[in-house]
A = this chain, B = another copy of it.
Amino acid sequence: MNEFLQQFNLHVDLAIEARDLVRGATGQEIQGVEEQVEKMEQIKITTITIKDPQAVPIMGRPLGTYVTIESPPLKINDPYVKDEIIQAMSKSMTILLNNRLQPKDIVLLVGLGNWRATADSLGPKFIEYSPITRHYFQHAPEALVEGMRPVSGIAPGVLGITGLETFEVIKGVVDNVKPAVLVVVDALAAQNVDRIGNTIQMSNTGIQPGGGVGNARHSLTEQELGIPVIAIGCPTIVNAAIIAQQAIKNFCSVSNTVFNDMFATNSIKDTLSYFGGDLAVTPKEVDEIIENTARIISMGVASSLFPGISREQLELYAT
């Protein structure tokens, strides 16, 4: 699989899919990787911790903790599912933050992605729906409620920033505002269309270059920024090369043909022409899916950052 991904310059964004790919090959547990599964009524929470440096190249991502919240397909609009997801997100934030965030600490929310590309707008939408409070602390503290902390938000991919790297803008803000923690939300690519809008990943390893729909160029990590970075994402696309490969594999399976990697890769290169790995597969109603997912993620993060404050109250502080 790794060679196939390399052929099209692809990245496996979801840790849980990387684990499936590795296990798929060996059929065994992965040395140096711990896993815990929790089932709630509707959703399933898998916590994958990469502990051993030897597992890093195998899993294709850094040491750290990766929480995956999977909701039943087509049910993400269900209020009970939503509630479970928000609860799960809040609990996972606590684990990932690991006591490094104090009640009055400043948090900076970052929404990566591009308003112009619909499948890439999850980050900016997340910022739009998140309660923002820091300006009240500075200019109108009477508008705040007991128990709030200062939270700022930025969506660097929107109009208004040109000729600047997202990383330069974020680092600049971090250096000046000095938040205790960065929470960054980005749209991801999955290996399977079933995961679109359905799988929320949260990790304490930040964003690596080459990942995400927009193909981040810089790392947004604790090493680079000096503060913990919680990265949250949800797939909105699947790469066309992956879909093509799955179709060929399924065909071989159903028609009892031997699947040949090289033939498959060449056939797919032919089909995808000069676009190669630059073709994304998205549902026609992706904007609804993103709208929905952005709301849930913002409520999940907010419920963790503002414990004890009701959702109705928090909504007054969103844009």
Which A positions have Cβ atoms within 8 angstroms of B?
73-74, 111, 116-119, 124, 127-128, 132-135, 138, 150-165, 168-169, 171-177, 192-194, 196, 213, 240, 243-248, 250-251, 253-255, 257-258, 260, 263-264, 266-268, 270-275, 278-287, 319
Contact = CB atoms under 8 A, between A and B. Distances in A.
Contacts of A246: 244, 271
B282 A279 contact: yes
14 contacts: A134-B163, A151-B163, A154-B164, A156-B160, A158-B159, A169-B169, A169-B176, A172-B176, A243-B243, A243-B244, A243-B279, A250-B266, A251-B267, A281-B281
B117 A287 contact: yes
Contacts of A152: 162-164
B73 A163 contact: no
Most buried by B among A158, A192, A258: A158
A160 B162 contact: no
Contact of A127 (B128, B160, B266, B278): B160
A247 B124 CA distance: 35
Contacts of A169: 154, 169, 172-173, 176
Nearest to A250: B267
A302 to B, nearest CB: 13
> How many copies of the polypeptide does the oligomer hold?
4
A150 B163 contact: yes
B284 A268 contact: no
Given A160-B158, A279-B281, A287 B116 contact: yes
A127 B164 CA distance: 13
A236 to B, nearest CB: 12
A179 to B, nearest CB: 10
A113 B246 CA distance: 31
Nearest to A192: B273
B270 A193 contact: no
A257 B168 CA distance: 52
B163 A160 contact: no
Q: Which 9 A-B pairs have the closest CB atoms?
A: A172-B172, A152-B163, A134-B163, A250-B267, A155-B160, A244-B247, A158-B160, A132-B162, A251-B267
Given A118-B116, A162-B152, A177-B164, A275 B271 contact: no
A257 B275 CA distance: 26
